[in-house]
Amino acid sequence: MDYLSSLMTVCFLFATVVFYITNGEPVVPALFIFGDSIVDVGNNNNLHTVVKADFFPYGRDFVTKNPTGRMSNGKLAVDYASEFAGFTSYQPAYLNLNTKGSNILNGANFASSGSGYHDSTSIQYHVIPLMNQLEFYKDCQEELVKLVGKENATSIISGAAYLLVDGSGDFAQNYFINPILQNLYTPYQFSDVLIEEYYNFIQNLYALGARKIGVTTLPPIGCMPFIITKFGYHSNKCVETINNVAIYFNKKLNLTTENLIKKLPGVKLVIFDIYQPLYELIIRPSDYGLFEARKACCGTGLLEVAILCNKISIGTCADASKYVFWDSFHTTEATNKILMDHLIPTATSLLYSNQTVR
């Protein structure tokens, strides 16, 4: 298919999405989310872990003006994705639900901040490993059957969209600060290990009925304020040696995804490239109406994250809307909105197209 035909197809699909949304119907029956802190909306709140965000100033610009467990000042990109799909309420943090019932009819979020493809990432932070998130999803399926019956539950499961966002913590919060892993693997060998975990996870998710699955690439990890501070050797520029590892991982992710598509009949598996748009945003923030990409908003903007980003953090900015990063690992609501706007064509293809867009 040539470029013009592809563009026309995406425009048609986008128009279809808009039609459904403006008519008050979500374009898919449910959305299920797995992964790490980029998409966690509060599953860590009641865990005994330091990787949580259920306190100020996290959430200060969210719609409720309260911390929810989101690692940002406001909405995450997945919140914007939920809105784009036509949902009028966000998918809840599954572990925070006292009562499942109708709360899970539009899907659920199983993501856990500090998690990763590699079990050691989750274990050291006492959070929910990816495969355990899948076990919670199985429990969610059983709850759906109780609620709407097996036939309707099956229809929801097969028609739902699934999102997997993982891998950043495996490197930024584990490998590059873990001498044990560094002695076992080069960063590229460790990437290969993570890709095997990704391959297995998608097969298991498919076996549970998922057919529309979106997966994000790694972001430019070397541009995170924490990483520049720790590994930049007094430079304010992105650590390109670490970015090169993310680029390698993303190439392997694309190749492995192509193999999975060939292996799994009827799967619609798309890759959301967040590396390139975020890299461009960091390199040229003023092009997008932002002005600060080296330092985060919270505290000094160089190291603060999770419990170190708190209401007494000295230096926290008054207006996060001009910053790329909220804390030293995570992006602001403003950045999340820009990213989601960039990803709309891919999101549209996941919801409607029979073709895989990468």
Q: What is the pLDDT of residues 156-202, one digit of tens each?
A: 999 999 999 999 999 999 999 999 999 999 999 999 999 999 999 99
The answer to whether the CB of 316 falls within 8 A of the CB of 325 is no
pTM score, whole prediction: 0.93
Alpha-carbon distance 307 to 221, whole Å? 21
Is 327 annotated in the active site?
yes
Catalytic site residue from 40, 166, 170, 327: 327
Q: What is the CATH number of the domain that holds 95?
A: 3.40.50
Q: Measured between alpha carbons, how far is 218 from 337 in angstroms, rounded to an integer?
A: 18
* Set 191, 330, 342, 349: catalytic member: 330
Structure tokens at 263: 């292996």
Q: pLDDT value at position 25? A: 87
Looking at the structure of the chain, the number of domains it has is: 1
Looking at the domain assignment, is residue 293 inside a domain? no
Which has the closest alpha carbon to 30: 103, 128, 115? Answer: 103
Binned average pLDDT, 10 residues per bin, the chain of 358 residues: 48 51 80 98 97 98 98 98 97 95 97 98 97 98 98 98 98 97 98 98 98 98 98 94 98 98 98 98 98 98 97 96 98 98 96 52
Catalytic residue among 36, 37, 328, 353: 37
Q: Is residue 303 part of a domain?
A: no
Residue 234 among the catalytic residues: no
Q: Is 330 a catalytic residue?
A: yes
Report if residue 288 sits inside a domain.
Answer: no
Which structural domain range is residue 113 located in?
3-52+62-167+176-221+240-280+334-351
Residue 309 maps to a domain: no
Is residue 272 a part of any domain in this protein? yes
